[in-house]
Structure 1
Amino acid sequence: MACQSVCVIMDEQALLGLNPNADAPYRHRAMAYFEQLKESQDGWEVCAEALAKGIYHDDHVKFFCFQVLEHQIRFRHAGLSAVQQQLIRETLMKWLQNQLMNAEPEKPFIRNKAAQVFALTFVMEYLTLWPKFFFDILTLVGLNPCGVDVYLRTLMAIDGEVVDRDILHLPDDIRRNTLIKDQMREQCIPTLVESWFQILQTYQQSHPEITCQCLEVVGAFVSWIDLNLIANDRFVNLLLSQMSVEELREEACDCLFEIINKGMDPADKIKLVESLCQVLQSAGFFNVEQEEDVDFLAKFSRLVNGMGQSLVLSWSKLSKSGNVKEAAEALQALESKVPLLLQLLVHEDDDISANIVGFCYEYLHVLKQLPQLTDQQKANLEAILLAVMKKLTYDDEYNFENEGEDEAMFVEYRKQLKMLLDRLAQVSPELLLEAVRRVFNSTMQSWQTASFMEVEVAVRLLYMLGEALPASHGAHFCGDSTKTSALQDMMRTLVSCGVSSYQHSSVSLEFFETVSRYDKFFLVEPQHIPIVLMAFLDQRGLRHSSPKVRSRVAYLFSRFIKTLHKHMNVFIEDVLTRIQDLLELAPPENGFPALLTSDDQLFMFEAAGVLIVHGESPVERKTVMMRSLLQPLMDAFNLLLSKLSQESEQETQAAIGDCLSHAVGFASRTSKAFSNKQTVKQCGCTEVYRCCLQTFLPALSVPLQRGPLRSAVRSFLHRMIICMEEEVLPFIPSASEHMLKDCEAKDLQEFIPLISQITAKFKRQVSPFLQQVFMPLVLAIFEVLGRPAEENDQTAVLEKQMLRRSYFTFIQTVAASGMNEVMANQGAENIERVVFTIIQGAVDFPDPIAQKTCFIILSKLVELWGGKDGMVGFPDFIYKHIVPACFLAPLKPTFDLSDAQTVLTLSECAVTLKTIHLKRGPEFIQFLQQEYLPSLQVAPEISQELCQVLQQPDVKVLKNYIKAFFQRAKL
């Protein structure tokens, strides 16, 4: 053992801190000691000696020593001397030798860490320093159980370092790993396989845990070694014998699955699968009903799934290559597995069933490709369909009101079954339709006495038909008469048989989902609308005892109304009366829980808006109804706003703030009913919404709950700009004034889109207002951007970046709006200040999105003011600032030409140069050649080349050239 001077003793005080229960100071000292040993040139040798000599008995200390050693090997191996590398090898082998003599084996966590260190050493040294790694270990451990355990754990750790595809490896590591595998195949794989066989044979009775470990190793390595070493009679027979041993059967199953999964020639794969199936069948494994161990059956189901998918893949390859005879044999092999597939698919344990879905799905895909189905294949189809229908059914234990992990897993499993149903529909839509009709009709005839599971799945199947049937029948109630009449009959039965009264939330939900799914049915048979409307409105729907049902029904009701509004005319007043209490704003201090949440109420207000706007009532009546809908919100808003300013409790303030925001949100949602054909003006609702604006806008100047209130009012203004046209304009100046007071970055960032929306929509109409608000807005932005921020405050940095982007977008909108006067009338000093910020944005901030916008603005300004009759003094500005910006920005180290967004910025930079040339002509070329490019030390021939490209008409040529120009410049 080297370095005796260092390896005297470890810091005992520091080691005390390794105990998980140690006090903080001890733990800190242990961490510091760990770092010290890791970083020192030879400190790790203390740990090596401790492991080789077995000095310490404390598990945490031993683990610590391995950790220090691991760090040396992983990060410092190349820097170790030959003597030190030899020391590591000797340490590991001495430690392993000690294990063989210990009465008690080490704890699993220490053996795992040791295996990791062995594997790391193997990876670093096998190709060069330690080619006899496995020979040395196998010679030492023989068939000693403790030694074999470490050997197997090491093999699994090697798999993780060298093979595992789920672990991301660097290109150099991938090359090294390929060399390692090649050398292993050449030198030692047969020896390893032989050792696995001996271990499996020796320990299957005495040490099942070691046998399981060995099976896992075989499964891991089989993907890249010669399969003939494993897929032979002696090995497979041994594995099959272990399928009958209770402690080993699950691992044996997994091992066989990995063998089956190995890529190989289709004919060989079929032979392997068939021989395996033959043995499994004769051993009684296909008698699934007699097997009680569900954990094993889940593994077995996965194995059968692997065999089935392998056969499908082989059939597919043989069919494509035109090998008719062998393809037919593959199909026959495939068909013979279907009875087993069906047993597993219909098994009452969902895990077992879910594990076979992949094979089932691919088998259906095979049937879909066949020109004609045999009677047996049709029977298989029907059997799969019945199995899927049965498995879709909920069980008694499903908790609908408090769904946990088991429920979530069943929902996922149902999605897999739906995939099977969709695939069945592609193979035989007629069969699916007929089977669903049979199940649905028989269940609906006796729904009063049927279990909720039966009723729910019957309605669910009707719902699923809508997505499963081929697209050509997408309209469902027109086209192919057989499908049309079948669906129409079932819908008629659903809405008239009374099943909507079934007292279970799952059935209620499925009923409303289905009538909403097939809302087009009611366009064909509108006589059923009243009965369904009543179901929506009473205790079956919106007043159901389950909050979950009420919430979902609120959304579905809104959808139903939107689709069928043309048929609602006679019901409008009645519906609005019946839902009136559901449209009330729930006051914050009310102790009673509301039937609907505020999010659900949004859908109710939208539905009410649609009923009013799209009804056939005269305009006067629509005005009255809309006022009745919105006036209570305004009244409540006024009351709550005055209450807010008097309230001192923060919690109550927040509750009132929420309530006020909801009131604005509800009013906003009603406006979604308007369209180009039904505008606010045509419906006589302008005055009502103006009153809303007058009511809501004062909230902008309230200091309490500012964030949520401003956000709600701003959203309302966005809606009103869309719906009310120029009627909204008188409200914009005062709203803007309030929103620009005491701004934060986020406030401004959210306010700018509103101004941009007004600019883009009203253009010249808002020019006077824009001229007035332009500089106050710009100054407010400058003020916020200029505020100092904490160095590490990433949120503030991001908010400023987003505000800067919003600011540039606003300037872009103004520049592109055709309202030259908005900026031109701000005074020379202000214009200069603004344009300087655009130059700064283009050059100084490494944000390609903002930079791109800045170059777009500069192009536009050159276009507006850069010509002969442009703004006085602007040509000078072009030469002094805009041209340099076009060169300085791309030359910055942060300007990354491999980034797609930056390349787009460079394109806009090229467009800016092109625009300058279009406006200034030969004068610009002369400036570049004689003044600017020489100042950058650009060679005359390159200058000339650039100027020639600039003068070509196609801007694409310039864009490509500019990219190459700056790539060269940056070399």
Structure 2
Amino acid sequence: MAYFEQLKESQDAWEVCAEALAKGIYNDDHVKFFCFQVLEHQIKYRHAGLSAVQQQLIRETLMKWLQCQLMNSQPEKPFIRNKAAQVFALTFVMEYVTLWPKFFFDILSLVGLNPHGVDIYLRTLMAIDAEVVDRDILHSPETRRNTLIKDTMREQCIPNLVESWFQILQAYQQSHPELTCQCLEVVGAYVSWIDLNLIANDRFVNLLLSHMSVEELREEACDCLFEIVNKGMDPVDKTKLVESLCQVLQSAGFFNVEQEEDVDFLAKFSRLVNGMGQSLVLSWTKLVKAGNVKVAADTLQAVEAKVPLLLQLLVHEDDDISANIVGFCYDYLHVLKQLPQLTDQQKANIEAIMLAVMKKLTYDDEYNFENEGEDEAMFVEYRKQLKMLLDRLAQVSPELLLEAVRRVFTNTMQNWQTALFMEVEVAIRLLYMLGEALPASHGAHFSGDTAKTSALQDMMRTLVSCGVSGYQHTSVSLEFFETVVRYDKFFIVEPQHIPNVLMAFLDQRGLRHSSPKVRSRVAYLFSRFVKTLFELNSADPVLISFITSISDFQENGFPALLTSDDQLFMFETAGVLIVNGESPAERKQALMRSLLTPLMDAFRLLLAKLPQETEEERQAALADCLSHAVGFASRTSKAFSNKQTVKQCGCTEVYRDCLQAFLPALSCPVQRGPLRSSVRSFLHRMIICLEEEVLPFIPAASEHMLKDCEAKDLQEFIPLISQITAKFKRQVSPFLQQVFMPLVLAIFEVLARPAEDNDQAAALEKQMLRRSYFCFIQTIASSGMNEVMANQGAENIERVVFTIIQGAVDFPDPIAQKTCFIILSKLVELWGGKDGMVGFPDFIYKHIVPACFLAPLKPTFDLTDAQTVLTLSECALTLKIIHLKRGPEFIQFLQQEYLPSLQVSPEIAQELCQVLQQPDVKVLKTYIKVRADERDSSLILKNVILCHVPPSCYEGQ
């Protein structure tokens, strides 16, 4: 392979390959294939650099190779023929217009009607189509070239090519059907841009129709006719073409769909009818827009005449055949929607389409509900197309659709006990689909015009009271619950049905169903249903009694019945029921305790077992159970709101008990990662819900979480401390003063640990930890708790602030750099004034000011990056705040000490200082941005960096 790659790159090795191909030196297929690849590379990338003699050599090579094919008794392997066709096509693209205008004539005169030669000729035409025409391939850079090639072909050779296709189709339809199919594909590909009259004439169409009766050719002939019909044309001409084609197909008996047993052919035929129908609709649309009423009426009549055939294909038992006609059906309904009035026939057509859609929505016996594969996925996609039709039907005639669905639904529900599952499922499915298909004014809210809402209300009443929720099939069970939740507003009008529906959710029809798929979905739907009832103020006090049922679930088989994710929904639902119920606070507290106590008991029991386990797999399983228990308790707290707080519901003590039960897990010696993660998440929730009641638990939790921690542990712990800081501010100041340095030292220790040079995961973890650390310092600095850092001792403060300087300058991470400059601005604001921290002004001049100049000088400071531009802006703001705090002293320092030390000229220094003294900080930001954009790799001006470079490097520039 390496040798062959060298051949490709070599200047003259292609000539060796050309000779090998022309003389047929090698018999090995792979060698022949590679020789073509080398030739292809030469033509594609070096053609313009070849001499006229070399270009002639390529042409001769291809023609000699083609001549060899005519004499061979056996054709080359298909992959070699395809590669050869590609090389022919590339040569054509490069040379046809200028160097080889007789390309097709040369090939045709050589090939004649030799089957091997015809095969190469047809493959070459398809390869040319891929290079020049195919709309699925991006050709934008060569658009002008391709247009020129097509124009030249139309002028010089298209009639000859069409004649050759006719000869091939005629000569080989019986002896070589594969060549005939290839030729039909070529005609289909080229018809979009050549003169249609060359193809759409009696002799050609008759030939194509004769192919429609030959089993091996009919599918390809159908595709070819489809491409002819799809050609862009004047609407009147298009209608004539389609109508004449339809007439011939009908006369030949192709419209008798019921008698055709070949489903593959019918799928192609259905696509052809779809193309003809959509073409007629498009013609009608154009004619209506142009105001051509008479011809538009004739075209609409032509469309209507195809509807019986459309219906036969739409209702066909094979879904592929049906799916291929959906486009025409959709467009036809769109036409009806635009008509001022519908005829009886059109109404009958609408009804027939409705019945067809309802029939086709039905599952078949072979659908595998337990193990859905590719066939099932295809049916789901097909159902989505049918739903589009149903939505369009609702737009055309909502009354007809409502009545049709009502009829089907009512008949099925009357006999659901004896009906097949697919009939019951589709009846409920249709009711569900009406919710999206009908606009809100047609009853989606069960209010307004009674004539329109009563049908939906009747159907919902029937659904929840006829007992169909007990039907023993997963698809029916799922559809029942989905529909109940879709039409939750029905229960405002008829709340008396709520208890029965809730029982269905909770018993063996729902959460205790034998199918895990049903149980899982019902857990989610039940959660939605309960929330909606409370939102609508329609929750009967009877709801609270269902907490007992949920607690019973938890103790007697919940884990076996529902996955942990499903149980999350159940606990959230239980929380919603308790919190939003009308019970007094004492009752709510008792209910919440009855819900959470089993979790706490189980947690303590499993936590005691965990350290005694020796098998890692068993340890992981126990840790998983413990994490889930914490997650369930956490999820119940989602029910609280500003209107219904934990305190108002009397539940503070219950959640404090949870904290006491869960926090010991932080010191568990095994499975620390998952346990810490779940308890930390619970703490986040409690900070939101419990307010200051959570504060006594934070110190001990922090102490545990800071022991033996990894980068990831710290990174996840910092947001918790930041959340407490931001929420409680001064209330947690003593605690923060105490925890500040242990946390900072733990971070320093982890960041200082050595790592492998190429360990990208470790490097990323450290980068994220560094960012989290800077965010933590920013939170402290920004929350007005000056004392937290100020009371850490001079040495510690200096150490921390040095890390901020380092973050601002040394690490090529613009997100962290931006945060560091925000911190530096804040510290200057806090400590940089006349009554600030002792010694801090010196620190400003020695370290913060240089950082503002050095950071943008770094080669990694990339001003094309948006985050870096924001960093530059914060850098400018830091300089501005230093000036606000130190006044003329700072200007004097820049002019007399710092800028001269960088050998910046007095003029430049003065310019900067003038900008610094402008009241509007935007002036400084703009100035620095402009100067930074001008830099080679400097900030204030090129002078800043030039002063570090020997004069010889820039003299005269």
Q: TM-score, normalised by structure 2?
A: 0.89
* Equivalent residue number for residue 11 of structure 1: none
CA distance in 2, matches of 1:875, 1:321: 80
- Structure 2 residue runs of 5 or longer lacking an equivalent are 938-957
Query: 1:346–1:390: 8 Å Cα contact kept in structure 2?
Result: yes
* Equivalent residue number for residue 945 of structure 2: none
Match of 1:630 among 596, 604, 609: 596
Which SS does the other structure have where 2:395 is aligned?
Answer: helix
What is the one-letter code of the residue matched to 2:308? P
* Equivalent residue number for residue 552 of structure 1: 521
What is the one-letter code of the residue matched to 1:510? E
- How far does residue 619 in structure 1 lie from its aligned partner after superposition? 2.5
What is the one-letter code of the residue matched to 2:493? V
Deviations for 1:490-544, whole angstroms, at most 9, x for unmatched residues? 1111111111111111111111111122222223222111211221222211121
* Equivalent residue number for residue 83 of structure 2: 113
CA distance in 1, matches of 2:718, 2:250: 73
Deviations for 1:653-678, whole angstroms, at most 9, x for unmatched residues? 12112111111111111112222222
CA distance in 2, matches of 1:510, 1:970: 67
CA distance in 2, matches of 1:750, 1:872: 35
- How far does residue 94 in structure 1 lie from its aligned partner after superposition? 2.2
* Equivalent residue number for residue 366 of structure 1: 335
CA distance in 2, matches of 1:245, 1:646: 78
Judge which range, 230-239 or 399-408, deviates more.
Answer: 230-239
Instruction: Decide whether aligned partners of structure 1 residues 863 and 216 sit closer, same or farther in structure 2, where only a CA change above 3 A counts.
Output: farther
What is the one-letter code of the residue matched to 1:580? S
Query: 1:572–1:611: 8 Å Cα contact kept in structure 2?
Result: yes
- How far does residue 130 in structure 1 lie from its aligned partner after superposition? 3.9
Deviations for 1:447-482, whole angstroms, at most 9, x for unmatched residues? 111111111111111111112221445752223322
Judge which range, 910-919 or 600-609, deviates more.
Answer: 910-919
Instruction: Decide whether aligned partners of structure 1 residues 939 and 342 sit closer, same or farther in structure 2, where only a CA change above 3 A counts.
Output: farther
Judge which range, 714-723 or 621-630, deviates more.
Answer: 621-630
CA distance in 2, matches of 1:322, 1:866: 79
CA distance in 1, matches of 2:706, 2:892: 46
Deviations for 1:286-305, whole angstroms, at most 9, x for unmatched residues? 33233222112212222232
* Equivalent residue number for residue 943 of structure 2: none
Alignment of 1:176-325 (within 5 A): 176-325=145-294
* Equivalent residue number for residue 714 of structure 2: 748
Percent identity (aligned): 88
Match of 2:105 among 135, 139, 147: 135
Match of 2:554 among 576, 583, 590: 583
Instruction: Decide whether aligned partners of structure 1 residues 707 and 197 sit closer, same or farther in structure 2, where only a CA change above 3 A counts.
Output: farther
- How far does residue 556 in structure 1 lie from its aligned partner after superposition? 1.4
* Equivalent residue number for residue 4 of structure 1: none
State yes or no: 1:670 paired with 2:636. yes
What is the one-letter code of the residue matched to 1:583? Q
Query: 2:524–2:569: 8 Å Cα contact kept in structure 1?
Result: yes
* Equivalent residue number for residue 27 of structure 2: 57
Deviations for 1:830-864, whole angstroms, at most 9, x for unmatched residues? 44444444444445444444444444444444444
CA distance in 1, matches of 2:335, 2:807: 59
CA distance in 1, matches of 2:809, 2:136: 43
* Equivalent residue number for residue 701 of structure 1: 667
Alignment of 1:595-614 (within 5 A): 595-614=561-580
What is the one-letter code of the residue matched to 2:688? I
* Equivalent residue number for residue 104 of structure 1: 74
State yes or no: 1:735 paired with 2:735. no
State yes or no: 1:379 paired with 2:345. no
Deviations for 1:124-153, whole angstroms, at most 9, x for unmatched residues? 444554444333322322221111111222
What is the one-letter code of the residue matched to 2:639? A
Judge which range, 732-741 or 321-330, deviates more.
Answer: 321-330
CA distance in 1, matches of 2:216, 2:113: 21
Instruction: Decide whether aligned partners of structure 1 residues 234 and 833 sit closer, same or farther in structure 2, where only a CA change above 3 A counts.
Output: farther
CA distance in 2, matches of 1:585, 1:841: 56
CA distance in 1, matches of 2:208, 2:650: 82
* Equivalent residue number for residue 947 of structure 2: none
- Structure 1 residue runs of 5 or longer lacking an equivalent are 1-30, 588-592
State yes or no: 1:66 paired with 2:36. yes
Deviations for 1:64-91, whole angstroms, at most 9, x for unmatched residues? 4333443444455556565554444333
State yes or no: 1:155 paired with 2:125. yes
State yes or no: 1:650 paired with 2:616. yes
Query: 2:444–2:487: 8 Å Cα contact kept in structure 1?
Result: no
Which SS does the other structure have where 1:617 is aligned?
Answer: coil
Which SS does the other structure have where 2:561 is aligned?
Answer: coil
- How far does residue 918 in structure 1 lie from its aligned partner after superposition? 5.2
What is the one-letter code of the residue matched to 1:377? Q
CA distance in 2, matches of 1:778, 1:221: 72
CA distance in 2, matches of 1:948, 1:197: 85
What is the one-letter code of the residue matched to 1:61? V
Query: 1:585–1:659: 8 Å Cα contact kept in structure 2?
Result: no
Instruction: Decide whether aligned partners of structure 1 residues 411 and 945 sit closer, same or farther in structure 2, where only a CA change above 3 A counts.
Output: farther
Which SS does the other structure have where 2:272 is aligned?
Answer: helix
Query: 1:242–1:249: 8 Å Cα contact kept in structure 2?
Result: yes
Instruction: Decide whether aligned partners of structure 1 residues 970 and 560 sit closer, same or farther in structure 2, where only a CA change above 3 A counts.
Output: same
* Equivalent residue number for residue 934 of structure 2: 968
Query: 1:572–1:612: 8 Å Cα contact kept in structure 2?
Result: no
CA distance in 2, matches of 1:575, 1:359: 52
Query: 2:541–2:582: 8 Å Cα contact kept in structure 1?
Result: no
Alignment of 1:390-469 (within 5 A): 390-469=359-438
Instruction: Decide whether aligned partners of structure 1 residues 87 and 324 sit closer, same or farther in structure 2, where only a CA change above 3 A counts.
Output: same
* Equivalent residue number for residue 25 of structure 1: none
CA distance in 1, matches of 2:443, 2:850: 60
Deviations for 1:367-423, whole angstroms, at most 9, x for unmatched residues? 333444343333332222222111111111111111111111111111111122222
What is the one-letter code of the residue matched to 2:699? P
Query: 1:569–1:616: 8 Å Cα contact kept in structure 2?
Result: no
* Equivalent residue number for residue 59 of structure 2: 89
What is the one-letter code of the residue matched to 1:252? A
Query: 1:476–1:487: 8 Å Cα contact kept in structure 2?
Result: no
Query: 2:443–2:452: 8 Å Cα contact kept in structure 1?
Result: no
Query: 2:505–2:526: 8 Å Cα contact kept in structure 1?
Result: yes
CA distance in 1, matches of 2:603, 2:391: 50
What is the one-letter code of the residue matched to 1:721? I
* Equivalent residue number for residue 734 of structure 2: 768
State yes or no: 1:719 paired with 2:685. yes
Deviations for 1:331-380, whole angstroms, at most 9, x for unmatched residues? 44433333332222222111111122222223333333344434333333
Deviations for 1:765-807, whole angstroms, at most 9, x for unmatched residues? 2222223333333333333334343343333333333333333
Alignment of 1:522-921 (within 5 A): 522-565=491-534, 570-572=541-543, 574-584=545-555, 594-872=560-838, 874=840, 894-909=860-875, 911-912=877-878, 915=881
- How far does residue 707 in structure 1 lie from its aligned partner after superposition? 2.1
Instruction: Decide whether aligned partners of structure 1 residues 474 and 38 sit closer, same or farther in structure 2, where only a CA change above 3 A counts.
Output: farther
Which SS does the other structure have where 2:560 is aligned?
Answer: coil
Which SS does the other structure have where 2:213 is aligned?
Answer: coil
Deviations for 1:240-287, whole angstroms, at most 9, x for unmatched residues? 333333222222222232333333444444444334333333333333
CA distance in 1, matches of 2:530, 2:385: 32
CA distance in 2, matches of 1:736, 1:941: 55
Query: 1:856–1:908: 8 Å Cα contact kept in structure 2?
Result: yes
Instruction: Decide whether aligned partners of structure 1 residues 441 and 863 sit closer, same or farther in structure 2, where only a CA change above 3 A counts.
Output: farther
Match of 2:310 among 341, 345, 349: 341
CA distance in 2, matches of 1:509, 1:69: 62
- How far does residue 201 in structure 1 lie from its aligned partner after superposition? 2.6
CA distance in 2, matches of 1:923, 1:129: 79
What is the one-letter code of the residue matched to 1:334? V
* Equivalent residue number for residue 38 of structure 1: 8
Instruction: Decide whether aligned partners of structure 1 residues 372 and 918 sit closer, same or farther in structure 2, where only a CA change above 3 A counts.
Output: farther
Query: 2:446–2:456: 8 Å Cα contact kept in structure 1?
Result: yes
CA distance in 1, matches of 2:151, 2:169: 25
RMSD: 3.3
CA distance in 1, matches of 2:342, 2:812: 64
Which SS does the other structure have where 1:103 is aligned?
Answer: coil
